[in-house]
């Protein structure tokens, strides 16, 4: 089922082919592994690939707030900064592994 999305227009022909150009080594890898090749998002080359969006920034605030409600965590020295650092570390790790499905 195709759903509407505010950022993308649907093609007029719903049976249109999608083309993807790739180098030979990626094509051979795809055939050998019977899988699609996806580059890590931190290697795509765009200066803002994988960076925070407004929803991610909002989730950081939620994450910190939730962590600070934990009695064990909130007693740690610099608990708020630890929670922020932990979220940023996790987000950085996700940026590296998003395209490989981890």
pLDDT in tens, 20-77: 778 898 889 889 999 887 777 667 777 666 666 777 777 888 888 888 888 888 888 8
Residue 55 φ/ψ, nearest 5 degrees? -60, -35
Selected residue with higher pLDDT from 98 and 88: 88
User: What's the pTM?
Assistant: 0.41
pLDDT score, position 92: 63
pLDDT score, position 32: 93
Q: 53-72: string of b/e by CB count within 10 Å (b at 16+)?
A: eeeeeeebeebbeebeeeee
């Amino acid at each position: 089922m195709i759903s509407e999305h505010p950022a993308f227009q649907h093609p007029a022909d719903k049976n249109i082919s999608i083309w993807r150009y790739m180098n030979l080594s990626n094509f051979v890898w795809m055939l050998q592994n019977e899988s699609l090749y996806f580059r890590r998002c931190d290697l795509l080359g765009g200066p803002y690939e994988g960076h925070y969006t407004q929803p991610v920034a909002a989730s950081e605030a939620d994450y910190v707030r939730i962590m600070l409600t934990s009695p064990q965590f909130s007693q740690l020295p610099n608990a708020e900064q630890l929670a922020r650092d932990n979220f940023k570390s996790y987000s950085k790790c996700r940026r590296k592994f998003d395209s490989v499905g981890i």
